[in-house]
Structure 1
Amino acid sequence: MNRLHITLISFLVLAFAKAHTAQAQQDFKAKATYLSLTKIKMKNDSAMSKKAESDPMVKALMEQLKKGSQQEFELEFTRTESSYDKVQELKTPGGPSSGISFSLTTSGGVGSTIYKNIEDNTYIKQGNIMGKDFVIKDELPEYEWKLLNETKKIGKYNCFKAIYVPEIKQDEQEVTQEEATEAAESGLLNMMDDYDPTISAWYTPEIPISNGPGDFHGLPGLIIEVQENDTTILLTELVLNPDQDLKLKKPKAGKEMSQEDFNKLQKRKMDEMMERQGNGKGGFIIQSFSTGG
């Protein structure tokens, strides 16, 4: 066999190997199940605690907040796209005690249905304000993660820690003395321990996908666990290359708007509700609240 034949064969083998690798990367798919647990650390000397002594509804709400809220989510993803959606409502730890049910969500969209396109740096999120649906379309937020040397094993995966401290915008800092006094005297904010904005994430390079629950992304590996103030999100199951096709759902129900416009509308509606109910300002959102028999 002459040198030309050997060179040609080597070229064909290399080209086939590259094509096979590219196809494998394109065909990659996975399903991950995450458990989100929000448990509020309550103060015993807040105005709401005193109000609970005479108001059964407030007392029931506080008891539920102390027990916490559990939700299960599924993340279906390829190397460039993903869909994150709620699987089912899980019972509040300790079982129901008052007929009140609720779910909590913090930033990061961990309580929302969200489609992400990592390649295009965009997302489509399902939003809801007081029973009205919205479709939020925007660019993915930038998480300026700081990679640390801390490691731990979560399940069978070797994980590394990263943290991110959100920048507080100027308009969020400009709180009047009157608003600050009102928030200190009443409301859900006063019920909670001091708020720490730091977000901690544990990711594994063993699955080199820059994705995770909610709109979290941007790390050199799949995010296995996230800790954000009183909410912990933990991977409980991961199936690589499942037999069934992925759904990769995109939220469609409701009026389309940007994240900024949605946040403004949400704040206005929350402020209006707080004024009507006299509950001050909250540090989190009660996403759903219902009374049952």
Structure 2
Amino acid sequence: MKQSLLKTFVLAVVACIGTFSFGQDFQGKAYYKTKTTIDMSQFGGGRQISPDQMKRMQERMKSFLEKEYVLTFNKEESIYKEEERLEAQGSGGWGGFASSFTGGPKYKNVKDKELIQDQEFFGKQFLIKDQLKNLEWKMGSETKQIGNYTVFKATATKPVTGFDWRSMRRRQPENNKKEKDSTKSTDADDPMNEVEIPKTIEVVAWYTPQIPINQGPDDYWGLPGLILEVNADRTTILCTKIVMNPKEKDNIKKPEKGEVVTQQEYTDITTKKMQEMRDNWRGRRGGRRN
């Protein structure tokens, strides 16, 4: 009981310190590194993959499995952008395919509950406009240090929208058997039959009341402090540097280019495209068998 009261007191103190340190026109930048882990041995199509082959595959995929972003924020708005860098050689193939699902700048306005996402999908530009949805965070008492900041733990269950390759995994044997039993022989070799994406994932976030804004990287927000770390399924987002009130402030602009769609409309578009690709693959396989 005493320990719980002490942590509550510490939280209140750091929140107050942070509150008095910010003016009305402040701006900050948080730099993040993201890493997604994929077990490539699951997708060998039944073939054994040697350690050397696995290493080469991981190197080719590194350019989109590991990225760097910057979150520019004030009290109400933020924009989350990937930092520009030279593309690693050999990032084509499956890496180029997966990069079609990587988003562009993401704008959040926590006052107006506004979300705008710049998104390219197979060469077409979309502008996803939707209401900013919050997660039902469960506040924990666990703390740790990230750099100079004391961070507190919060957890939530997040629905997976659309074709999120970051959560893609091999289908469980019992589910896979049902799928194969209900398909034609030409579908049995379909690699997508081996893959599933969960409907929800568990999220662990670490936020600091020392920066008392409810912003965070990517889709994450809604905590009483800037989110410095996120562990969501197989993806980790970690803040590596924070710059408060930089001498040269950026203009936080809403993305403007692209066909305007809602998140549900965009999910429908990507789902239809993936089904078309799957049907085309089946057609080619069927043609080769004849």
- Residue 35 of structure 1: aligned partner: 33
- Residue 237 of structure 1: aligned partner: 241
Provide, for residues 23-78 of structure 1, a one-character-per-residue CA deviation record: whole Å limited to 9, x for no partner: 9532111011111112212345x55252979xx9x997576448972111111110
Map 1:1-293 onto structure 2 (within 5 A).
Answer: 25-44=23-42, 46=43, 48-50=45-47, 64-65=60-61, 69-89=65-85, 96=89, 100=93, 101-102=95-96, 111-167=103-159, 177-178=178-179, 186-187=190-191, 190=194, 197-278=201-282
Q: SS state of the match for residue 214, structure 1?
A: coil
In structure 2, the CA distance between the partners of 1:178 and 1:163, relative to structure 1 (3 Å rule), is same
In 2, distance between residues paired with 1:196 and 1:167? 4
C-alpha deviation, 1:245, in angstroms: 1.8
Alpha carbons 2:104, 2:120 under 8 Å: kept: no
Alpha carbons 1:201, 1:225 under 8 Å: kept: yes
Q: State TM-score, norm by structure 2.
A: 0.70
Q: SS state of the match for residue 166, structure 1?
A: strand
Gaps of 5+ in 1: 1-20, 170-174, 279-293
C-alpha deviation, 1:178, in angstroms: 3.7
Gaps of 5+ in 2: 1-18, 162-174, 283-290
RMSD: 4.1
Higher helix share: 2
Q: SS state of the match for residue 143, structure 2?
A: strand
Provide, for residues 84-142 of structure 1, a one-character-per-residue CA deviation record: whole Å limited to 9, x for no partner: 111124766xxx5676544858xxx9844111111001111112221100111110012
C-alpha deviation, 1:153, in angstroms: 0.8
Paired AA for residue 239 in structure 1: V
Provide, for residues 221-276 of structure 1, a one-character-per-residue CA deviation record: whole Å limited to 9, x for no partner: 10001111221111111100111122213211211111111111111112212232
In 2, distance between residues paired with 1:213 and 1:204? 13
Q: How many residues align?
A: 245
In structure 2, the CA distance between the partners of 1:276 and 1:238, relative to structure 1 (3 Å rule), is same
C-alpha deviation, 1:189, in angstroms: 7.8
In 1, distance between residues paired with 2:40 and 2:196? 5
In 1, distance between residues paired with 2:156 and 2:181? 26
Paired AA for residue 106 in structure 2: I
Paired AA for residue 269 in structure 1: K
C-alpha deviation, 1:180, in angstroms: 9.0
In structure 2, the CA distance between the partners of 1:160 and 1:213, relative to structure 1 (3 Å rule), is same
Q: State TM-score, norm by structure 1.
A: 0.69
In structure 2, the CA distance between the partners of 1:71 and 1:156, relative to structure 1 (3 Å rule), is same
In 2, distance between residues paired with 1:27 and 1:126? 26
In 1, distance between residues paired with 2:47 and 2:57? 13
- Residue 286 of structure 1: aligned partner: none
Q: SS state of the match for residue 27, structure 1?
A: coil
Q: Percent identity?
A: 35
Paired AA for residue 25 in structure 1: G
